Amino acid sequence: MQGFEQLDVFKKAYRASLEVHKLTLEYPKHEQMHGLADQMRRASKGICANVAEGYGKMSISKAEFRRFLLMAIGSADEIRVWIRYSLDLGYIEKNQWEHLKTEYQTIAKMLTNLHKSHQ
């Protein structure tokens, strides 16, 4: 049985989360603690954490795995809101926004497909 680390969606979400973390370290100081940067880091890391936690519970309950995948999908959508704010506030460039938007759309789609495959 493979671990959650072997899931393509986990790998992609983890890489994107590292990118978001590094990017948000450049945000203004007032956004770092309990602001936009913090929200973005928590949402992006939440995707990875929910996939891992759900995967760990899958052997006991497929429904639990699916529930955690739904939370991860929600976090993937949430991060897209935060990157839109980041663009509109001038914290990131349009090309960065487009890249991250595409990444998180892809991640959400992958999560949705994984959710459907475990019905």
Q: Using CA atoms in the order 20, 21, 27, 32, what is the torsion angle rounded to 10 degrees? A: 130
- What's residue 59's pLDDT? 84
Residue spans of the domains in the chain: they are 4-117
Q: What is the pTM for the complete model shown?
A: 0.94
- pLDDT tens for the chain, 119 residues long, are 579 999 999 999 999 999 999 999 999 999 988 899 999 999 999 999 999 999 999 889 899 999 999 999 999 999 999 999 999 999 999 999 999 999 999 999 999 999 999 88
- What's residue 33's pLDDT? 87
51: closest CA among 31, 67, 36, 33?
Answer: 67
Q: Which CATH class is domain 4-117?
A: mainly alpha
